[in-house]
Structure 1
Amino acid sequence: MASTRPRDGASDKGAARSADALLARMTRASAGRTAGILLCAAGAAAVSVALPAVLGRTLDLLLQGHPDAGRALAAAVALTIAEVVLNAAVALLAGTVGARSTAWLRLRGLGRLAAAAPHGVSRFSPGDAATRLSTHATEAGAAPAGAARIVAAVLAPTGALVALFVIDLWTGLAFVLGLPVLGLLLRSFARHSSDSVSRYQRVQSVMATRLTDALGGARAIAAAGTVDEERARILRPLEELGAEGRRMWSVQGSAMARSGVLMPLLITAVLAVGGLALADGRISVGDLLAVSRYASLAAGLGSVAGPLGALVHGRAAARRVDALLAVPPLAHGQRGLPPGGPGTLELRGVGVSRDGEWALRGVDLHVPGGRTVAVVGRSGSGKSTLGAVAGRLTDPDEGEVLLDGVPLGTVAADVLRTEVGYAFERPSLQGATVEEAIAAGAETAPRERVRSAARAAGADDFVRVLPQGYATPLEEVPLSGGELQRLGLARAFAHAGRLMILDDATSSLDTATERQVDRALAREIRPGTRVVIAHRLSTAARADAVVWLDGGRLRAVRGHAELWQDPDYRAVFGHADASGGGGNR
């Protein structure tokens, strides 16, 4: 199973600026609560700064036996309670902002993925996209609260430092002398931590991609007897992940250890200077108590490393989430389609480029309304790409596609998805029950249409024997490949418009069921144009015309019987040596 390494195309500086802009928008989305964090933090800081002074004054009054000592003590208790309450409010608001910001990111990320063309999101494997929207969105969502907590972590120490200068100039200077060293420590921590966090998150995505690939191909892995090899492949990046994790925590541990040594030294220096001031009579015993408390409070600058680390994680994670949001959406127009149109499909000079190579080039095709065409060709010839542009799952890089004379790029999204339907080889079903899965679409199909569509797709028989029939929870239905395809076809039939594109949608059906589906398409489903991406010879033989693609170019559009005379056409179906007389097998 091939793994896909995520590729973010923007430069490092451009990606960083874009991620910072994303964080700014996310912060504005929770501006009220973020402001609440700052206000509560400012209040807690003010209380923290006032408390040592009140405690010092209380001590002096107690030593003097002053009658106001009781009131001062009550004030100190009130301030202590206020500090606890305000800090609790900060923690509560920070959690709320983190949850709301994470939800904000995930909703926009999912919305962008759903609105983008399939090829636009193909560079993100399912595992990588899931990691970005889960783990990385959570880390990025914590960034606004982290930034607010950094401000909060700076307010109280700053106030304490000012108080040290107010009590005695030399106590303030003793602390200030150590600040340049602390600044260098925090700067080094932020720089090195950012690099290690980015690498750690990248390896996380690689492992998630490999695991998702393996889960998707679990049966093939078991059948090949390569379980041990696949396990080793998935876990191979674990050594790199461990190394990056150790490096990340080493950077943080080193910063914490150094600040842990520096801060006590600064506190000791301040207390020594304060002791000398007390001996000289410049300050009182209560002032010395306040100095000791302010020195400890000012040393809280060293604790900035914690929220700073969370902010670094958040910025790095925001870059990975922002890469999803940078995928351009598929823009739609506002036009409708002619009422009662037959579904005439035209491709004019259509070309589609993928990774610098042409998947389709110079395709001119006219499919009259109400006709069924089979699109055939060797693997990689551009069949599914043609199906994607025909129903505007993606736009061509050159040329245009028209439905009943209207360019698809100008059609409103709701009109397009009502009038153009798809059925795929591996349909993705949504809904709580089987009935809801079939009814889901641009419009919710009514119950009778759901039942009729299920009968037409050959799904009604097996659905009726389920424990609760159509009301059976979808997650409790053990579906085979053919049953899954029949439900996918039923959903497409329930929402049939003037154009229906079946991309290998009957590959897992037995011959009898496939013929039943063909009859239903001709007689029971809303009349319209059918484009069938075909690999089976029988499907091509029953179509009104065959669109033969070869190397991304249109080789021929003729009837199957006529094309069968060409040995190259027979080779598409593995009949290179067959005579020209058959073709309906």
Structure 2
Amino acid sequence: MPRRPTGWTLALGLALPTGAAGTLALPAALAGAVDAALGRRSGPGALLLLALVLGTAAAADATAAAAGPACSAEVTAALRGRLVRHLLALGPGGRLHGGPPPGDLAARLLGSAGAAGGRLPAVLGAATALLTSVGAIVGLGVLSPWLALAFFAGVVPGVVLIRLFLRQAGPAFARYQEAQAVLAARLSDALGGLRSIHAAGAQQREATRVLAPLPELSAAGHALWAAQRRTAWQATLLIALVEVSVLTTAGALLADGALAPGALAAAAGWAALGAGLFEQVEALVGVAHARAGQARVDELLALAPAPCGAGALPAGGPGQVELRGVVVRDGDRVLLGPLDLTVPGGRTVALVGRSGSGKSLLAALPGRLRDPDEGTVLIDGVPVGTLAPTELRHAVGYAFARPALVGRTVRDALAGAGPTEAGAARADGFLRRLPSGWDTPLDELRLSGGELQRLGLARLLARPARVIVLDDATSGLDLATEYEVTEALDRATRGRTRLVVAHRAAVAARADLVAWLDAGRLRALAPHTTLLTHPDYRATLADTALRAAAAG
């Protein structure tokens, strides 16, 4: 839906044509003043008209100078807000998977959206300059058709010059922004793994990888500068030739008595304004820059959210989760499946497997944090894709290793959790020690990984979800606290279906069943005690426990 024009947009839309009209009227007013000074006219009217035109043009230019940046800022803010809402609405269900990485998304949000925000002022400025030049040519034609003909001698090469510049500048800007995005994505990845990079002593190697796009960035920038430089000197030469041609023709007409002295001054002014058509390199750079930014933003806005239904789950359902023929891919590589799995309602199933076996990927499927590329995921016999979003959020609750806290204060972030839930998650103790307790602003929190996990668990317990998914949600807790929290979770979620990503044998032992994953496939679904007879299962548990200990 089009956005309603703001005050700054309207001010810019009025100031630019007003300034253009004043600029166009200036040569005519100056001609009248010259004729008045030479005694060809009487009275102060010509001088007053010149002062009025000068004042109007100056006021309009000042207004445009203030309104242009303000309009760009407003449009940029609105575009960034729209882009953020759109990206969040896409959800994690796979629409962004395989697309731009987080660093690229940040570059588009900050850089490309900022460039696109200047599109309206750039286009209005270029259009106004074009109309001003056209008006000046009309003015020359009014003075004498010969002056217009003299000017048109340079129009054809000028148009060719502009088209060549746009053809070169557009791709150069696109290449420049793409290289910027790759650089930002690699830097974001490097900062996220900074501890590992330093631990491996790989700083120089990683710096080389991050900075690898710089040659392409430099090449794109130099290509743009070369196009600007080439167009600038060609436009300057063309302008000089056009103005000399017009003034020579005007001088000849003046010598023949066909033009008044003031008309010569008007011809000089309109020739300069008309020739401005060929020197709009800066305005065209702004338009090309904005178009390239808008194209990169539009790529994200073109992504459609995953389709949602309006269905509901049967009342009182046990929370049975079924995966039928599920396959999840990353491009041509299969990450998970083909896989068939039934998690009986009210039972606890531990997901066990080595790193990369697909545990977290499987855990993401019931709540549509990732949609399968093939197959169907059902809760109590209803495909999750047919459920209304609010119904699905109420049906499936998650707790993660690094839960995100959303809101202004701790109370907001806990989303309805109270002292009972905080106590069950063993979060009540450190919450009482916070400066303002539950009303402590989130940006003042300094929490350990374990404390953050306990807040996530407290938030989860406040929801009456029939399916509970714990994805490494207690990995930051010491063994004693983990035992206490697990006991409390068992009591608070008794009778609900639970999927637990397990890294420790004790967690698998507490589950009713273990789904043993191996390279994205379900190797077995059986009780922990049954699987313990298999040496590969024991080795898998030992490997995951070792990795969990190293990560902690």
Could you tell me whether the CA contact under 8 Å between 1:335 and 1:411 is conserved in 2?
yes
Whether 2:100 is the aligned partner of 1:100: answer no
Deviation at 1:265, TM superposition (A): 2.6
The one-letter code of the counterpart of 1:414 is T
The one-letter code of the counterpart of 2:21 is A
Distance 1:330 1:244 in 2: 36
Partner deviation per Cα, 1:345-370 (whole Å, 9 max, x = no partner): 22223222331233233432222222
**Which residue matches 1:46?**
21
Deviation at 1:491, TM superposition (A): 2.3
**Which residue matches 2:476?**
508
**Which residue matches 1:17?**
none
Whether 2:193 is the aligned partner of 1:217: answer yes
Partner deviation per Cα, 1:392-417 (whole Å, 9 max, x = no partner): 22222332222223221111111211
**Which residue matches 1:310?**
286
**Which residue matches 1:545?**
513
Deviation at 1:185, TM superposition (A): 1.5
3-state SS of paired residue (1:221)? helix
Q: Which of 329, 334, 337 is residue 313 of structure 2 equivalent to?
A: 337
**Which residue matches 2:35?**
60
Distance 2:195 2:310 in 1: 45
Partner deviation per Cα, 1:219-259 (whole Å, 9 max, x = no partner): 22233333344334333433432332232222112212221
Distance 2:301 2:116 in 1: 13
Distance 1:349 1:437 in 2: 37
Deviates more, 1:408-417 or 1:254-263: 254-263
Q: Does the C-alpha gap of structure 1 residues 205 and 351 become closer, same or farther in structure 2, counting only changes over 3 Å? A: same
**Which residue matches 2:486?**
518
Distance 2:515 2:430 in 1: 34
Q: Which of 467, 472, 481 is residue 499 of structure 1 equivalent to?
A: 467
Deviation at 1:157, TM superposition (A): 1.0
Deviation at 1:151, TM superposition (A): 1.1
**Which residue matches 1:6?**
none
**Which residue matches 1:376?**
352
Report the RMSD for the aligned CA atoms in angstroms: 2.4
Distance 2:320 2:398 in 1: 16
**Which residue matches 1:442?**
none
Distance 2:386 2:473 in 1: 28
TM-score w.r.t. structure 2 length?
Answer: 0.92
Partner deviation per Cα, 1:17-60 (whole Å, 9 max, x = no partner): xxxxxxxx76x664997676455433332222222112202221
Could you tell me whether the CA contact under 8 Å between 1:500 and 1:529 is conserved in 2?
yes
Q: Does the C-alpha gap of structure 1 residues 257 and 82 become closer, same or farther in structure 2, counting only changes over 3 Å? A: same
**Which residue matches 1:477?**
445
The one-letter code of the counterpart of 1:62 is A
Distance 1:575 1:387 in 2: 20
Whether 2:251 is the aligned partner of 1:283: answer no
Could you tell me whether the CA contact under 8 Å between 1:58 and 1:72 is conserved in 2?
yes
Distance 1:494 1:197 in 2: 50
Could you tell me whether the CA contact under 8 Å between 2:236 and 2:279 is conserved in 1?
no
Deviation at 1:92, TM superposition (A): 4.2
- 1:120-199 to structure 2, matched below 5 A, reads 120-122=95-97, 123-199=99-175
Distance 2:58 2:514 in 1: 77
Could you tell me whether the CA contact under 8 Å between 1:359 and 1:552 is conserved in 2?
yes
The one-letter code of the counterpart of 1:185 is L
Could you tell me whether the CA contact under 8 Å between 1:496 and 1:526 is conserved in 2?
no
Whether 2:510 is the aligned partner of 1:536: answer no
Percent of matched pairs sharing the same residue = 46
Deviates more, 1:401-410 or 1:276-285: 401-410
3-state SS of paired residue (1:380)? coil
The one-letter code of the counterpart of 1:510 is D
Distance 2:232 2:447 in 1: 55
Structure 1 unaligned residues grouped into runs of 5+: 1-24, 440-444, 577-585
Distance 1:255 1:526 in 2: 74
TM-score w.r.t. structure 1 length?
Answer: 0.87
- 1:192-207 to structure 2, matched below 5 A, reads 192-207=168-183
Q: Which of 42, 45, 54 is residue 80 of structure 1 equivalent to?
A: 54
Q: Which of 395, 404, 428 is residue 428 of structure 1 equivalent to?
A: 404
- 1:350-429 to structure 2, matched below 5 A, reads 350-429=326-405
Partner deviation per Cα, 1:461-507 (whole Å, 9 max, x = no partner): 22322333333332232222222222222222233411111112222
Distance 1:108 1:136 in 2: 13
Distance 1:522 1:393 in 2: 24
**Which residue matches 2:45?**
71
Q: Does the C-alpha gap of structure 1 residues 308 and 389 become closer, same or farther in structure 2, counting only changes over 3 Å? A: same
Q: Does the C-alpha gap of structure 1 residues 575 and 131 become closer, same or farther in structure 2, counting only changes over 3 Å? A: closer
Q: Which of 254, 260, 264 is residue 240 of structure 2 equivalent to?
A: 264
3-state SS of paired residue (1:535)? coil
Q: Does the C-alpha gap of structure 1 residues 340 and 153 become closer, same or farther in structure 2, counting only changes over 3 Å? A: same
Distance 1:471 1:39 in 2: 48
Distance 1:575 1:415 in 2: 38
- 1:217-256 to structure 2, matched below 5 A, reads 217-256=193-232
Deviation at 1:212, TM superposition (A): 0.9
3-state SS of paired residue (1:374)? strand
Q: Which of 113, 123, 140 is residue 87 of structure 2 equivalent to?
A: 113
Distance 1:490 1:324 in 2: 35
The one-letter code of the counterpart of 2:285 is G
Distance 2:523 2:315 in 1: 33
**Which residue matches 1:451?**
419
**Which residue matches 2:458?**
490
Could you tell me whether the CA contact under 8 Å between 1:38 and 1:152 is conserved in 2?
no
